[in-house]
Structure 1
Amino acid sequence: MDTYWMYTALGVYLLAMLFLGYVAYKKTSTHEDYMVGGRQLPPLVAALSAGASDMSGWLIMGLPGAIYTTGLIESWIAIGLTIGAFLNWKFVAPRLRAYSQVAKNSITVPSFFENRLKDSSHILRIVSSIIILVFFTLYISSGMVASGVFFESSFNGNYIVGMLIVVSITLLYTFFGGFLGASLTDVAQGLMMMVALGVVPVVGVISIGGIGATTETIRTVASGNLSFIGYNGFTVAVVFSIVSGIAWGLGYFGQPHIVVRFMALRTPAEAKSARRIGMSWMIVSLGCAILSGLVGIAYFSHVHQELPNSETVILRMSQLLLHPFIAGLILAAVLAAIMSTFASQLVVCSSALVEDLYRVIRKKEATQKQLVLLGRLAVLLVALVALLLALNPSGTILQLVSFAWAGFGASFGPITLLSLYWKKLTNWGALAGMLSGAISVFVWDAINSDIYELLPAFLIATLIAVIVSKVTYKEHPEITEEFSAMKDMLAQP
């Protein structure tokens, strides 16, 4: 009977996602509609969509699992992300919305780089697209791994069967609804995630006997669980861990599936209200995710149970503490976190293949109908490759996400910031910085340093981009004119 209620709740959720995908499908007719929703996203949709597509299964599985295993020292990642997200909304969102329109109405990150820097060779656009396909395929694969783990932990189901079910549903609404389909479902999924993250720890605290009993149990399990510097006080390893956690925030400036939401806003001025909505959602959700991991430590100690996979802490608590139908809705929220992210990433990969590779390589212009069809086929292709990688996962969800996050942050983050704020960035400087950022991530990861690879790779990419730009800079009247036009658009109410 319990399984029946949980499957019912899950079925209601999946049908609702398909319905939203259908609504988006009816509103999608042109290539621009499919890729950026016709630049008509209201602030609420843009904010919750950016947050939901950003956090993924990491928010409900990866972060609580890390807190459950190591304690509050893992919360520095959440702190770094909060700072990075605020700076991204404050300094990147309005400028990118304005500049992407001024620069020949660019609708993808690679096309923006090319149009902003007047790269007639198309090399910058092609390399950007390849980087997107490489890192996003790994990122999407992490979402598929999370979906398989979800079904194993929640229903004692088969990893591959569960993964195929989730992938199929996500593909359906993304295939037909494109960017708008991903964005509308993100709103529902983002709200579900926030509610789930709030309900589970509260019920857990009540079952343990209150805040005092919960806190004391957490300390009893391990004295350093409630310390932001861990068990052993300040050491070199702890300093590296804190610096690495905060460095996660640098990744925001280069995430294509997030910054494309900025490009899709109705006006640059609406970035301000979107920032307030998005940051409120993020602070509540991250705070509750951290709390869930801590309460999980106390709860499983209180009931004398082992948790074989720490990343399933919220899944198991919801099943043990809540009515099966409510638990099913919580499980649906976990699924929402997973689906929201890789749906958005599929759309970005589709745009990289069609808008930034196909349309550049094939000189003959395709019709709008043909471009939309190609975009949908590209979604299927990328999903298939990611699925093959997810059949035999080589790391935890957090490990897979952290590597892809670093890859985008180091490759695109410095170039995005320099494009928006420094007129003297050149196409060769951007290309050199982008490649050095991507290569540095792979090299630093191979070194297996205690410092998160994003930080050194970001700094290296920035330095190289600036040096090469200074060497290759020549004044370009059109760039100067567009830079001024971008500032004029920002000044409009």
Structure 2
Amino acid sequence: MILKYTILFLYFSILFLIGYFATKRIRNTKDYYVGGKNLGYWVVAFSARATGESAWLLLGLTGLGAMVGVSAFWVVLGEVLGVTVSWFFMAERFKKLSDKYNSITIPDYLVSHFKSTSHTLRIVAATALSLFVVIYVSAQIDATGSAFETFLGWNYFTGAIVGFIIVLTYIFSGGFVAVAWSDLFQGLIMLLGLVALPIVAYFSISSSVSVSDELLKLDPSFLNIWGEGGFNMVNLFTILGFTFIGLGFMGSPQLFIRFMSIKSTAEIKKGRWVAIIFTLLTDSCAVLIGIFGRYLLTSVDADVEAILGNGAQNVLPLLVERVMPLTLIGIYIAAVLSAIMSTIDSLLVVASSAISRDYYQQIFKPNKTERELAKTSRLITLVLAILALLIAIIVAVSVPGRTIFWFVIFGWSGIAATFCPTIILSLFWKGFNEKGALASMIAGFISVPIFKFGMTSIEGIGIFFEKVGELGPSFILAMSVGVIVSLISRTKTQKIDY
């Protein structure tokens, strides 16, 4: 136990040091929000991927792999496709435009792009972003409490509060620079931990044992890429739901703010392969951890429910304790916390920038000095973080059977459905206008809870909406609404580029 705490002490000390040195580079709000738009491709690529994965990767996707087997690789496919599209086809366009507009937030970019003369677009964008960020951050805080509880035997609420305090400390000191550099450090820990564990697990299995045969005994559908029952309509919608998760990489503000922060488009060309390889390795290994964990843990432990219950989100820590030497367990605690904290810090900076700049400065207090605005940003960060902590605690008390995978996906879906269709259309269609953007964001914002809680309860077809998830349908609806409203509201002089 002393060794675990020693490793964690070193891990947190490095984060605090990053925050301390980052303060030396913070001179204005541009530095605080986007690192002065001068970050290199290694930092940006790792920061984008660490932020995009979160606790969902180490606890949620590993658990999904243990629950459904190889069909979880559809998630990997969706994520790799989403990352590829964003880095190859969207990043350079977005970087050039955001630099042209001198934007430092996503609402900044949208207002400048559509030459908006009112504050409506800015208010809608900032409101939607703030709401879903709080939900997303609350899911990460929930995962923090679970991680401390599982690995160290702490009380859940103590763990959640400790993690909350640590993240706030280095965000307050260094802003986006601290976030990006800490993400690089945390991303490396995640990558090494995820790649090493399935390799060690594989070689810990006796060579005389056929893992595939044993897995089929445990669950005949485990190695079927289509899932239980083979190819059918329900499984098709399930697979689509897994794949649609990758849509969130194509315009979500917490990820695209990284493209604003990179120093040049030349760095994007270098960073794209780092991001894609990182995604392929970490996601594939997460699924393999779930698969090997299912075999190694359920073949020796009669209490299968203890392993597979609650979305099997404890499969990674249980497998680590089974196959890894004691000296490395502390590293895996740090890896899980890295996935969580790298997402919390990024989301809080993005949301606080939206409120402090897009609400407070641009609408109410345009004459505020840089120093005054920086103080306001830190205060708003604190308020948002406390709100997210309260939501996490309330959910933990009222929904004891929740799973991290779907809790995170709801927040992820809300941000993605609201912003991704709008960002995509703004980059590729000159006929897309401000009214279309507003309609698209509102449609995406509203449709996520409708598809999550409303459509799933309809008798007969509800099962299909439950399996496909809320992101895909909401994304398609928001995209369609944006196109239709733009076509209806366009002026005669407006050029429509199909």
Instruction: Bin the TM-score by the shorter chain.
Output: over 0.9
Equivalent in the alignment of 2:164:
167
Q: SS of the counterpart of 1:284? A: helix
> Would the aligned equivalents of 2:190 and 2:335 in 1 still touch at CA under 8 Å?
yes
- Amino acid in the other structure paired with 2:110: F
Amino acid at match of 2:373: L
Match of 1:74 in 2: 72
Q: Name the structure 1 match of 2:287.
A: 290
Match of 1:434 among 430, 433, 441: 441
Scaled by the length of structure 2, the TM-score of the pair is 0.93
Q: For 1:468, give the aligned amino acid.
A: V
Contact 1:76-1:246 at 8 Å conserved across structures:
yes
Tell me how far apart the structure 2 counterparts of residues 107 and 476 of structure 1 sit (CA, whole Å): 30
Instruction: Give the counterpart of 1:118 among 101, 115, 119.
Output: 115
Q: Residue type matched to 1:293 in 2?
A: G
Of 437, 444, 453, 2:470 maps to: 453
Moved more, 316-325 or 150-159: 316-325
Shift of 1:277: 0.8
Q: Which residue of 2 aligns with 1:413?
A: 420
Q: Counterparts of 2:83 and 2:232 in 1: how far apart (Å)?
A: 28
Q: Structure 1 residues 211, 53: CA separation in 2 closer, same or farther (over 3 Å shift)?
A: farther
1:314 aligns with 2:336: no
Aligned-CA RMSD value = 1.8
Q: Please tell me the residue identity of whatever aligns with 1:466.
A: V
Q: CA deviation at 1:211?
A: 9.1
Q: Would you say the 8 A contact 2:242–2:468 is kept in 1?
A: no
Uncovered stretches (5+) of structure 2, i.e. residues with no partner: 457-464
Would the aligned equivalents of 1:254 and 1:408 in 2 still touch at CA under 8 Å? no
Aligned residue type for 1:467: I
TM-score by length of 1: 0.93
* Alpha-carbon distance between aligned partners in 2 of 1:28 and 1:259, rounded to the nearest angstrom: 21
Q: Judging changes above 3 Å, is the alpha-carbon distance between structure 1 residues 173 and 231 closer, same or farther for their aligned structure 2 residues? A: same
2:354 match:
352
Q: How does 1:140-219 map to 2 (within 5 A)?
A: 140-210=137-207, 213-219=210-216
5+ unaligned residues in a row in structure 1: which ranges? Answer: 484-493
1:475 shift after superposition: 7.4
Counterparts of residues 222-241 of structure 1 (less than 5 Å): 222-241=219-238
Separation in structure 1 between the aligned mates of residue 123 and residue 203 of structure 2, nearest angstrom: 55
The residue aligned with 1:62 is 60
Cα distance in 2 for partners of 1:365, 1:269 equals 36
Please give the alpha-carbon distance, in whole angstroms, between the structure 1 residues aligned to 2:302 and 2:84.
39
For each residue in 1:13-57, what CA deviation from the matched residue of structure 2 results, as whole angstroms up to 9, or x when unmatched?
A: 111111111111111121000000000110111100000010001
CA distance in 2, matches of 1:472, 1:31: 36
CA spacing shift, 1:385–1:210, aligned 2, 3 Å: farther
Do the aligned partners of residues 91 and 476 (structure 1) sit closer, same or farther apart at CA in structure 2, a change above 3 Å counting? farther
**2:446, 2:230 → 1: CA distance?**
34
Give the counterpart letter for 2:371 in structure 1.
K
Give 1:250-269 correspondences, 5 Å limit: 250-269=247-266
CA separation in 1, counterparts of 2:22 and 2:212? Answer: 46
Q: How many residues align?
A: 477
- Which of 107, 112, 128 aligns to 1:131? It is 128
Deviation (angstroms), 1:392: 2.8
Alpha-carbon shift at residue 119 of structure 1 (Å): 0.9
Q: Of the candidates 358, 365, 386, which is equivalent to residue 384 of structure 1?
A: 386
Q: Percent identity?
A: 34
Deviations 1:258-294 (A, max 9, x none): 0100111111232111101111111111111011000
Residue 21 of structure 1 aligns to which amino acid in structure 2?
Answer: G
Q: Residues 46 and 183 of structure 2 are in contact (CA less than 8 Å); yes or no, is this contact kept in structure 1?
A: yes
**CA–CA distance in structure 1, aligned partners of residues 38 and 89 of structure 2:** 21
User: Match of 2:49, as an amino acid?
Assistant: G
